[in-house]
Structure 1
Amino acid sequence: MIVPETLIRTAVRADDAALGALDRAAWSPLHAVLPAPVPPYGPFFDDRHLPGDYLVAERAGVLVGYIRVVPPTPLAATAHVRQIQGLVVGEAARGRGVGRALLRAAMERARADGAVRMTLRVLGHNAPARALYAAEGFAVEGVLPGEMFLAGEYVDDVLMGRSLTPR
Protein backbone atom coordinates (compact mmCIF):
# COMPACT_ATOMS: atom_id res chain seq x y z
CA MET A 1 0.00 0.00 0.00
CA ILE A 2 1.34 3.44 -0.90
CA VAL A 3 0.95 5.98 1.88
CA PRO A 4 0.39 9.50 0.56
CA GLU A 5 2.95 12.15 1.39
CA THR A 6 2.30 14.45 4.30
CA LEU A 7 2.06 18.11 3.38
CA ILE A 8 2.80 20.54 6.22
CA ARG A 9 1.45 24.04 5.71
CA THR A 10 0.19 27.05 7.63
CA ALA A 11 -3.49 26.85 8.50
CA VAL A 12 -6.01 29.09 6.76
CA ARG A 13 -9.48 30.24 7.89
CA ALA A 14 -11.06 27.67 5.56
CA ASP A 15 -9.53 24.92 7.77
CA ASP A 16 -11.75 25.94 10.72
CA ALA A 17 -14.41 23.21 10.45
CA ALA A 18 -11.95 20.42 9.64
CA LEU A 19 -9.64 21.40 12.52
CA GLY A 20 -12.57 21.63 14.91
CA ALA A 21 -13.73 18.15 13.92
CA LEU A 22 -10.18 16.76 14.22
CA ASP A 23 -9.74 18.37 17.63
CA ARG A 24 -13.03 16.96 18.94
CA ALA A 25 -12.31 13.47 17.57
CA ALA A 26 -8.85 13.43 19.14
CA TRP A 27 -10.00 14.61 22.58
CA SER A 28 -8.60 12.34 25.28
CA PRO A 29 -7.99 12.54 29.02
CA LEU A 30 -4.41 11.59 28.18
CA HIS A 31 -3.67 15.11 26.97
CA ALA A 32 -6.72 17.32 27.52
CA VAL A 33 -6.98 19.72 30.43
CA LEU A 34 -10.42 20.95 29.37
CA PRO A 35 -13.61 18.86 29.57
CA ALA A 36 -14.71 16.90 26.51
CA PRO A 37 -16.36 19.19 23.97
CA VAL A 38 -20.14 19.14 23.71
CA PRO A 39 -22.46 20.69 21.13
CA PRO A 40 -23.03 23.35 20.09
CA TYR A 41 -19.43 23.66 18.96
CA GLY A 42 -17.90 27.05 18.48
CA PRO A 43 -15.35 27.98 15.86
CA PHE A 44 -11.87 26.50 16.08
CA PHE A 45 -10.22 29.88 15.41
CA ASP A 46 -10.89 32.92 17.57
CA ASP A 47 -9.16 36.15 18.59
CA ARG A 48 -6.52 34.24 20.60
CA HIS A 49 -6.16 31.25 18.24
CA LEU A 50 -5.33 32.56 14.78
CA PRO A 51 -4.73 30.47 11.64
CA GLY A 52 -1.15 31.74 11.39
CA ASP A 53 -0.37 30.18 14.79
CA TYR A 54 -0.98 26.70 13.40
CA LEU A 55 0.80 24.35 11.08
CA VAL A 56 -1.41 21.59 9.72
CA ALA A 57 -0.60 18.17 8.32
CA GLU A 58 -2.52 17.13 5.25
CA ARG A 59 -2.57 13.71 3.59
CA ALA A 60 -4.41 13.18 0.33
CA GLY A 61 -6.25 16.46 0.88
CA VAL A 62 -7.44 15.56 4.40
CA LEU A 63 -6.26 17.37 7.53
CA VAL A 64 -4.77 14.74 9.85
CA GLY A 65 -2.99 16.84 12.45
CA TYR A 66 -1.94 20.24 13.69
CA ILE A 67 0.55 21.97 15.94
CA ARG A 68 0.10 25.39 17.52
CA VAL A 69 3.27 27.39 18.17
CA VAL A 70 3.23 30.89 19.66
CA PRO A 71 5.44 33.17 21.75
CA PRO A 72 5.00 32.11 25.39
CA THR A 73 4.26 35.69 26.53
CA PRO A 74 3.86 39.13 24.94
CA LEU A 75 7.03 40.28 26.73
CA ALA A 76 10.06 41.41 24.73
CA ALA A 77 12.18 39.38 27.16
CA THR A 78 10.72 36.12 25.76
CA ALA A 79 10.61 37.11 22.08
CA HIS A 80 13.37 34.57 21.34
CA VAL A 81 11.20 31.66 22.58
CA ARG A 82 8.35 29.77 20.93
CA GLN A 83 6.00 27.51 22.84
CA ILE A 84 4.04 24.54 21.58
CA GLN A 85 0.50 24.95 22.82
CA GLY A 86 -1.13 22.00 21.16
CA LEU A 87 -0.16 19.03 19.03
CA VAL A 88 -2.90 16.75 17.71
CA VAL A 89 -2.72 13.86 15.28
CA GLY A 90 -5.88 12.05 14.21
CA GLU A 91 -6.21 8.40 15.18
CA ALA A 92 -5.89 7.06 11.62
CA ALA A 93 -2.62 8.97 11.05
CA ARG A 94 -0.88 8.03 14.31
CA GLY A 95 2.31 6.04 14.04
CA ARG A 96 3.00 7.36 10.54
CA GLY A 97 5.42 10.16 11.43
CA VAL A 98 2.85 12.96 11.27
CA GLY A 99 3.51 14.23 14.81
CA ARG A 100 7.26 14.16 14.22
CA ALA A 101 6.86 15.99 10.88
CA LEU A 102 4.71 18.68 12.53
CA LEU A 103 7.18 19.07 15.37
CA ARG A 104 10.15 19.40 13.03
CA ALA A 105 8.32 21.87 10.78
CA ALA A 106 7.37 23.94 13.82
CA MET A 107 10.98 24.07 14.99
CA GLU A 108 12.14 25.06 11.51
CA ARG A 109 9.54 27.82 11.29
CA ALA A 110 10.49 29.06 14.77
CA ARG A 111 14.16 29.21 13.72
CA ALA A 112 13.20 31.13 10.58
CA ASP A 113 11.30 33.59 12.79
CA GLY A 114 14.45 34.13 14.86
CA ALA A 115 13.59 31.92 17.83
CA VAL A 116 16.47 30.16 19.57
CA ARG A 117 14.45 28.15 22.08
CA MET A 118 11.27 26.01 22.07
CA THR A 119 9.26 25.04 25.15
CA LEU A 120 6.11 23.09 25.92
CA ARG A 121 4.02 21.66 28.72
CA VAL A 122 2.82 18.06 28.71
CA LEU A 123 0.83 16.03 31.19
CA GLY A 124 3.00 13.65 33.17
CA HIS A 125 0.95 10.60 32.24
CA ASN A 126 1.15 11.29 28.48
CA ALA A 127 3.99 8.86 27.80
CA PRO A 128 3.63 8.80 23.98
CA ALA A 129 3.96 12.59 23.70
CA ARG A 130 6.81 12.74 26.20
CA ALA A 131 8.68 10.05 24.25
CA LEU A 132 8.23 11.94 20.96
CA TYR A 133 9.45 15.19 22.49
CA ALA A 134 12.46 13.49 24.09
CA ALA A 135 13.33 11.82 20.78
CA GLU A 136 13.32 15.27 19.15
CA GLY A 137 15.73 16.74 21.68
CA PHE A 138 13.41 18.13 24.33
CA ALA A 139 14.47 17.66 27.95
CA VAL A 140 12.44 17.87 31.13
CA GLU A 141 13.23 21.25 32.67
CA GLY A 142 10.74 21.15 35.49
CA VAL A 143 7.81 19.30 36.98
CA LEU A 144 4.85 20.82 38.76
CA PRO A 145 3.69 17.83 40.84
CA GLY A 146 -0.06 17.36 40.97
CA GLU A 147 -0.63 20.68 39.17
CA MET A 148 -3.72 19.40 37.37
CA PHE A 149 -6.76 17.64 38.81
CA LEU A 150 -8.21 15.60 35.96
CA ALA A 151 -10.76 12.78 36.07
CA GLY A 152 -10.44 12.52 39.84
CA GLU A 153 -6.64 12.30 39.88
CA TYR A 154 -3.78 14.72 40.42
CA VAL A 155 -1.53 14.84 37.36
CA ASP A 156 1.92 16.37 36.99
CA ASP A 157 2.49 19.24 34.57
CA VAL A 158 5.86 18.58 32.92
CA LEU A 159 7.81 21.48 31.44
CA MET A 160 10.10 20.58 28.56
CA GLY A 161 12.36 22.64 26.34
CA ARG A 162 15.20 22.61 23.88
CA SER A 163 17.57 24.89 22.08
CA LEU A 164 16.91 25.62 18.43
CA THR A 165 20.51 26.56 17.71
CA PRO A 166 23.20 24.10 16.64
CA ARG A 167 25.39 22.95 19.47
Structure 2
Amino acid sequence: MSTSADRGPLIRPARAEDDEALSRLDRETWSTVHAVTPPPPPGRPFFGERQPVGDILVGELHGEVVGYVRVSPSTPLEANAHVQQIQGLAIAERARGLGLGKALMRAAEDLARRRGARRLTLRVLGHNARARALYSSLGYAVEGILPEEMLLDGKYVDDVLMGRFL
Protein backbone atom coordinates (compact mmCIF):
# COMPACT_ATOMS: atom_id res chain seq x y z
CA MET A 1 0.00 0.00 0.00
CA SER A 2 1.42 3.39 -1.00
CA THR A 3 1.38 6.20 1.53
CA SER A 4 2.09 9.91 1.14
CA ALA A 5 5.48 9.24 2.71
CA ASP A 6 6.28 6.80 -0.14
CA ARG A 7 5.42 9.47 -2.72
CA GLY A 8 6.93 12.36 -0.81
CA PRO A 9 5.02 15.33 0.56
CA LEU A 10 1.24 15.49 0.19
CA ILE A 11 -0.24 18.89 -0.70
CA ARG A 12 -3.86 19.57 0.22
CA PRO A 13 -6.22 22.45 1.04
CA ALA A 14 -6.09 23.56 4.65
CA ARG A 15 -8.86 22.60 7.05
CA ALA A 16 -10.05 24.47 10.14
CA GLU A 17 -8.63 21.70 12.32
CA ASP A 18 -5.11 22.53 11.00
CA ASP A 19 -5.14 25.77 13.00
CA GLU A 20 -3.03 24.56 15.94
CA ALA A 21 -0.46 22.75 13.76
CA LEU A 22 -0.08 25.77 11.46
CA SER A 23 0.21 28.11 14.43
CA ARG A 24 2.97 25.94 15.87
CA LEU A 25 4.72 25.79 12.48
CA ASP A 26 4.64 29.60 12.26
CA ARG A 27 6.27 29.89 15.69
CA GLU A 28 8.89 27.22 14.90
CA THR A 29 9.90 28.73 11.56
CA TRP A 30 9.79 32.41 12.50
CA SER A 31 12.97 34.30 11.63
CA THR A 32 13.98 37.75 10.44
CA VAL A 33 15.37 36.01 7.37
CA HIS A 34 11.81 36.03 6.05
CA ALA A 35 9.51 37.77 8.57
CA VAL A 36 8.99 41.50 9.00
CA THR A 37 6.46 41.18 11.82
CA PRO A 38 7.16 40.14 15.42
CA PRO A 39 7.09 36.42 16.27
CA PRO A 40 3.57 35.03 16.60
CA PRO A 41 2.65 34.59 20.26
CA PRO A 42 1.64 31.15 21.57
CA GLY A 43 -2.10 30.65 21.51
CA ARG A 44 -2.79 33.09 18.69
CA PRO A 45 -5.06 31.45 16.10
CA PHE A 46 -3.53 30.91 12.67
CA PHE A 47 -6.74 31.45 10.74
CA GLY A 48 -8.63 34.72 10.83
CA GLU A 49 -10.26 37.39 8.72
CA ARG A 50 -6.97 38.31 7.03
CA GLN A 51 -5.85 34.69 6.72
CA PRO A 52 -8.86 32.54 5.79
CA VAL A 53 -8.73 28.75 5.56
CA GLY A 54 -9.45 28.86 1.82
CA ASP A 55 -6.22 30.76 1.07
CA ILE A 56 -3.94 28.12 2.59
CA LEU A 57 -2.48 24.98 1.06
CA VAL A 58 -0.82 22.56 3.49
CA GLY A 59 2.15 20.26 3.00
CA GLU A 60 2.10 17.00 4.95
CA LEU A 61 4.82 14.43 5.48
CA HIS A 62 4.07 11.17 7.29
CA GLY A 63 0.66 12.65 8.18
CA GLU A 64 2.22 15.68 9.90
CA VAL A 65 1.73 19.30 8.78
CA VAL A 66 5.24 20.48 7.85
CA GLY A 67 4.58 23.36 5.49
CA TYR A 68 2.10 25.76 3.99
CA VAL A 69 1.68 28.41 1.34
CA ARG A 70 -0.85 31.24 1.39
CA VAL A 71 -2.36 32.44 -1.90
CA SER A 72 -4.48 35.59 -1.75
CA PRO A 73 -5.71 38.33 -4.05
CA SER A 74 -2.95 40.87 -4.59
CA THR A 75 -5.33 43.73 -3.75
CA PRO A 76 -9.10 44.08 -3.24
CA LEU A 77 -9.38 46.06 -6.51
CA GLU A 78 -11.47 44.60 -9.32
CA ALA A 79 -8.98 45.97 -11.86
CA ASN A 80 -6.33 43.77 -10.21
CA ALA A 81 -8.45 40.61 -9.79
CA HIS A 82 -6.34 38.74 -12.35
CA VAL A 83 -3.33 38.80 -9.98
CA GLN A 84 -2.89 36.50 -6.99
CA GLN A 85 -0.05 36.82 -4.52
CA ILE A 86 1.96 34.43 -2.37
CA GLN A 87 1.59 35.95 1.10
CA GLY A 88 3.39 33.34 3.11
CA LEU A 89 5.44 30.18 2.67
CA ALA A 90 6.80 28.17 5.58
CA ILE A 91 8.52 24.80 5.74
CA ALA A 92 9.62 23.02 8.90
CA GLU A 93 13.37 22.55 9.15
CA ARG A 94 12.94 18.74 9.26
CA ALA A 95 11.12 18.83 5.91
CA ARG A 96 13.55 21.03 3.97
CA GLY A 97 15.38 19.63 0.99
CA LEU A 98 12.57 17.19 0.10
CA GLY A 99 10.95 19.25 -2.66
CA LEU A 100 8.15 20.56 -0.47
CA GLY A 101 8.78 24.20 -1.39
CA LYS A 102 8.50 23.46 -5.10
CA ALA A 103 5.44 21.28 -4.56
CA LEU A 104 3.70 23.98 -2.53
CA MET A 105 4.54 26.66 -5.09
CA ARG A 106 3.27 24.51 -7.99
CA ALA A 107 0.05 23.85 -6.05
CA ALA A 108 -0.23 27.61 -5.38
CA GLU A 109 0.09 28.29 -9.11
CA ASP A 110 -2.67 25.75 -9.82
CA LEU A 111 -4.93 27.36 -7.21
CA ALA A 112 -4.27 30.82 -8.65
CA ARG A 113 -5.15 29.56 -12.15
CA ARG A 114 -8.40 28.03 -10.87
CA ARG A 115 -9.23 31.41 -9.38
CA GLY A 116 -8.78 33.00 -12.81
CA ALA A 117 -5.36 34.56 -12.20
CA ARG A 118 -3.03 35.38 -15.08
CA ARG A 119 -0.14 36.34 -12.78
CA LEU A 120 1.26 35.24 -9.45
CA THR A 121 3.45 37.65 -7.49
CA LEU A 122 5.34 37.63 -4.20
CA ARG A 123 7.63 39.68 -2.01
CA VAL A 124 10.82 38.27 -0.53
CA LEU A 125 13.49 39.86 1.62
CA GLY A 126 16.73 40.48 -0.24
CA HIS A 127 18.82 38.50 2.26
CA ASN A 128 16.64 35.37 1.94
CA ALA A 129 18.89 33.68 -0.63
CA ARG A 130 17.30 30.25 -0.24
CA ALA A 131 13.78 31.50 -1.00
CA ARG A 132 14.97 33.71 -3.86
CA ALA A 133 16.74 30.72 -5.43
CA LEU A 134 13.58 28.61 -5.11
CA TYR A 135 11.41 31.27 -6.75
CA SER A 136 13.94 31.87 -9.55
CA SER A 137 14.13 28.12 -10.25
CA LEU A 138 10.35 28.15 -10.78
CA GLY A 139 10.44 30.99 -13.31
CA TYR A 140 9.77 33.96 -11.03
CA ALA A 141 11.63 37.09 -12.12
CA VAL A 142 12.64 40.11 -10.08
CA GLU A 143 10.22 42.86 -11.07
CA GLY A 144 11.37 45.48 -8.62
CA ILE A 145 13.51 46.14 -5.59
CA LEU A 146 12.67 48.50 -2.77
CA PRO A 147 16.16 49.26 -1.43
CA GLU A 148 16.64 49.08 2.34
CA GLU A 149 12.86 48.97 2.80
CA MET A 150 13.01 47.01 6.07
CA LEU A 151 15.09 47.44 9.22
CA LEU A 152 15.60 43.98 10.76
CA ASP A 153 18.04 43.15 13.54
CA GLY A 154 19.67 46.55 13.09
CA LYS A 155 20.33 46.05 9.37
CA TYR A 156 18.57 47.51 6.36
CA VAL A 157 17.18 44.87 4.02
CA ASP A 158 15.80 45.15 0.48
CA ASP A 159 12.22 44.14 -0.27
CA VAL A 160 12.31 42.21 -3.57
CA LEU A 161 9.19 41.99 -5.74
CA MET A 162 8.99 38.90 -7.95
CA GLY A 163 6.35 37.49 -10.25
CA ARG A 164 5.50 35.33 -13.21
CA PHE A 165 2.76 34.87 -15.73
CA LEU A 166 0.73 31.72 -15.35
After TM superposition, the score normalised by the length of structure 1 is 0.94
User: Deviation digits for residues 23-42 of structure 1, max 9, x if unmatched?
Assistant: 10001111010122344x31
Q: Distance in 1 between matches of 2:83 and 2:144?
A: 17
* Residue 11 of structure 2 is aligned to residue 8 of structure 1: yes
**CA deviation after TM superposition for structure 1 residue 3, in Å:** 8.4
Where do 1:37-52 residues align within 5 Å? Answer: 37-39=40-42, 41-52=43-54
Where do 1:1-167 residues align within 5 Å? Answer: 4=5, 5-39=8-42, 41-164=43-166
Q: Distance in 2 between matches of 1:28 and 1:3?
A: 29
Whether contact under 8 Å (2:122, 2:162) holds in the other structure is: yes
- SS of match in other structure, 1:29: coil
Whether contact under 8 Å (2:26, 2:40) holds in the other structure is: no
Q: Distance in 1 between matches of 2:52 and 2:119?
A: 22
Read off the aligned partner of 2:30 and give its amino acid letter. Answer: W
Q: Distance in 1 between matches of 2:26 and 2:44?
A: 12
How well do the aligned residues superpose, as a CA RMSD in angstroms?
A: 1.3
After TM superposition, the score normalised by the length of structure 2 is 0.94
Runs of at least 5 residues in structure 1 that lack an aligned partner in the other structure: none
**CA deviation after TM superposition for structure 1 residue 113, in Å:** 1.6
**CA deviation after TM superposition for structure 1 residue 81, in Å:** 0.5
- SS of match in other structure, 1:16: helix
Read off the aligned partner of 2:82 and give its amino acid letter. Answer: H
Read off the aligned partner of 1:66 and give its amino acid letter. Answer: Y
User: Deviation digits for residues 96-135 of structure 1, max 9, x if unmatched?
Assistant: 0001000001001111221110000000000000000000
Stretches (4+) displaced over 6 A: none
